[in-house]
Amino acid sequence: MREKGRKNSTYVVIYDIFNFEEEYQGAWVSSDYRRRCRIAKELLKYGVRIQRSVFEIEISKTQIPKLKATIQKYCSKRDKIFIYLLEDKVKSRVKEKGTPFTPRDIQIL
């Protein structure tokens, strides 16, 4: 989502959704899965998936509060979301190896 006239920065967004399965020993909770999918769907509007729960997005600093608010709608108190600014001099040193992530077993609802 590029804003006209604004310089976009690159951010890495990582999310860790609390899994009730671990706490309740094997009881799969579909609400965890739905939260994961909704957060992924929102992040895909801003950028690309790097790994299952890691996204690289390009947005302006003014869009960060909107992104945070959107993600917060789907988070529980135990979930963790990290947003890192990837500065230009660091970005130029990022190395990619292997094939791009293509989720086969993830369904976006």
- 3-state secondary structure string, 94-107? CCCCCCCCCCCCCC
Tell me: is residue 16 an annotated ligand-binding position: yes
Q: Which of 81, 77, 95 is nearest to 11 (CA)?
A: 81
In this structure, the strands spanning 80-86 and 9-16 are antiparallel
Tell me which residue has tokens 């094939």. Answer: 99
| Rg of the chain, C-alpha, whole Å | 15
Q: Which residues are annotated as a binding site?
A: 16
Per the annotation, where are the binding residues for Mg(2+)?
Answer: 16
